[in-house]
Amino acid sequence: MSRFKNREHSIEIISYYTGYIVLIVASTMIIPIITSLLFREWNPLLDFIISGGISLIVGAILIIIGMRAKESKSTVQWKHGFAIAALAWIILMILCAIPYRLSGNTKSFLDACFDVMSGFTTTGLALTQDLDHLSNGLNMWRHMLTFIGGQGMVVLALTFLAKEIGGAYKMYVGEGKDIELVPNVKGTARHIWKISMVYLIIGTIALWIAGMAIGLKPVSALLHAFYIFASSWSTGGFAPNTQNIMYYHSVLYETIAMVIFILGSFNFGLHYAIWQGKRREIIKNIEAQSFLLHPL
């Protein structure tokens, strides 16, 4: 009987925090919804409304199932942390693939799931069809997924925690993270996103200016700037066109993208150390040493 209760309790813990992560990531669908609305893309708008609604329902059900775990203030154990991270990735892969499939730009739902996981893992392989004619809403979603994946879905969810929870570090490690920028996980997650957002603003502006310099219209240049930044920062390789970076035919554009790519290759611990004025860490860092020594 005790073993059954422990198992039930574990399921509740896993369900609650998985639902929490699903809700946070699903809520980001508001951005492609707004994008589709601004560009009057009515079919993609409906696709994302349907997908967002399904995702919110799934997240809410998972939270309700595990509500007792929250009320009892249960601590997340190592086994829970790994299960939460794995289950969240699987569920989010399926939910985030829905707008892909509804758009008609994938040959099957499996292909849509492949593209989503490629974005989450920043692999960059794509099975999406007719890239040159994707809607702005779906293109925004594709590049958002690779940007979020570069930081981590669990990291994103932990950023929005009202307060530190017991066992948060175990969920953090469960997603394959191990860098501690500050003593608590919530603070580390928020610093990771602060660093990413600062680079997002600077990198997008630089690419936006370069895009207009090569002849792109201001709005198109801004969208392309975000897409290429998100892909470069996450070292993923996604692009809004079939020709990828060759589409721009610009050494300036490629150079800016390469700089962002290299910066995105370094771990957040190094970025944070430099921000704290510890510039000698660049010399000590094994990644920086590898970059410098590799050409030799």
Domain residue limits, the chain: 2-180, 195-293
Residues of the chain with pLDDT under 70: 1-6, 69-74, 161-170, 172-178, 183, 294-296
Q: Quote the CA–CA distance of 227 and 224 in Å, as a whole number.
A: 5
Q: What pLDDT does 230 receive?
A: 93
Contacts of 223 (CB under 8 A, 6+ apart): 136, 139, 140, 240
User: Are the C-beta atoms of residues 246 and 238 closer than 8 Å to each other?
Assistant: no
Classify residue 247 as exposed, middle or buried by CB count within 10 Å of its CB (0-12, 13-18, 19+). middle
Residue 44 region, left (φ>0) first, then alpha (ψ -120 to 50), else beta? alpha
pLDDT of res. 205: 97
User: 193 by DSSP, 3-state: which?
Assistant: helix
What's the pLDDT at 50? 95
Q: Report the phi/psi class of residue 164: left, alpha or beta, with left for phi > 0 and alpha for psi in -120 to 50.
A: beta
Q: Are the C-beta atoms of 147 and 230 separated by less than 8 Å?
A: yes
Provide the pLDDT for residue 291. 72
Residue 74 carries which DSSP code? P
Q: Would you state the pLDDT for residue 3? A: 56
Q: How far apart are CA 51 and CA 122, in angstroms?
A: 22
pLDDT of residue 276: 80
pTM value?
0.86
